[in-house]
Amino acid sequence: MTMLDSVSLPTVITHTVIVGFAAAVHGSIGIGFPMIATPLLALVTDVRTAILLLVLPTVVLNVANIFKGGRWRHSIAVFWPLAVYGMIGSLIGTRLLIVFSPEPFLPLMAAMLVIYLNADRFDAGFAWVHRHPRIAFAVFGLTAGILAGTVNVMLPVLIIFALEMNMSKTVMIQVFNFCFLFGKLTQGAVFVQAGLMTTDVLTASASLAVLGLLVMVFGMRIRDRIPTEVYRRWLRRLLVVLAVMLIAQFFRR
């Protein structure tokens, strides 16, 4: 049984506010919807239900962002292996989510972010990523996919990869959303096969998808005004915030 079995008006309003806020952020910087919405929804429902509700909205927002900025075919032609490995990892991670609790994965991800943000101090550099892109595709793709399947957040791993590969802002956003899309489609297929994607979930998810798309369109107007260096600085700060959120959510559980 999930929280969807007894949805109240305050719950609907809360879901609407959370999805609207996450979609606005995603529209303005091109990423962040599941990363922001998942832990916030998990505060008012269980983690699994939060992930179920966000499958369809995430897919819709990902498709819209892939086409934003032009030359998306070139971006995908270069970085498509990352999405393929992410899809495989998502399949593994979603299976783990169905069988096990996702909470143990939260501190592991937080620890990884802390190590990356302090790589110079820990002597844990990621310079090998640029020298060995094929290995990096596999390592970061699989890791991102597994985390997406278990805790619905693959963004931190992809940010580390993108920053080390010196991607431009537009390419970064297109590649991220392409990976998100493949991961979410895989996750949704597993949920359907497991019988978790019920009519109630699809109805609620579809409504949130429409809301998210409308809000995101307004957020996109801000994105083009953000310089690349400022954007990259924001991403690092976003990793710090996410690490704190993951640790807090783990201890709360």
Domain boundaries, the chain: 3-252
- Mean pLDDT estimate for the chain: 80
- Which of 115-119, 163-167, 227-231 is modeled with the greatest confidence? 163-167
Q: What pLDDT shows up at residue 117?
A: 65
Q: Helices 228-252 and 33-42: crossing angle, nearest 10°?
A: 20
pTM, entire model: 0.70
Q: What pLDDT shows up at residue 75?
A: 81
Q: How confident is residue 16, by pLDDT bands cut at 50, 70 and 90?
A: very high
**Is it the case that residue 140 has pLDDT exceeding 60?**
yes
> Are 79 and 228 in contact, with CB atoms under 8 Å apart?
no
> Are 100 and 156 in contact, with CB atoms under 8 Å apart?
no
Share of the chain above pLDDT 90, in %: 16
Higher pLDDT, 202 or 233: 202
Q: What pLDDT shows up at residue 211?
A: 94
Q: What pLDDT shows up at residue 109?
A: 63
Least confident of 4-18, 41-55, 201-215: 4-18
Higher pLDDT, 226 or 158: 158
Residues 6 or more apart from 170 whose CB is under 8 A from it?
69, 70, 71, 75
Q: Helices 105-117 and 155-164: crossing angle, nearest 10°?
A: 20
Q: How many CB atoms lie within 10 A of CB 101?
A: 13
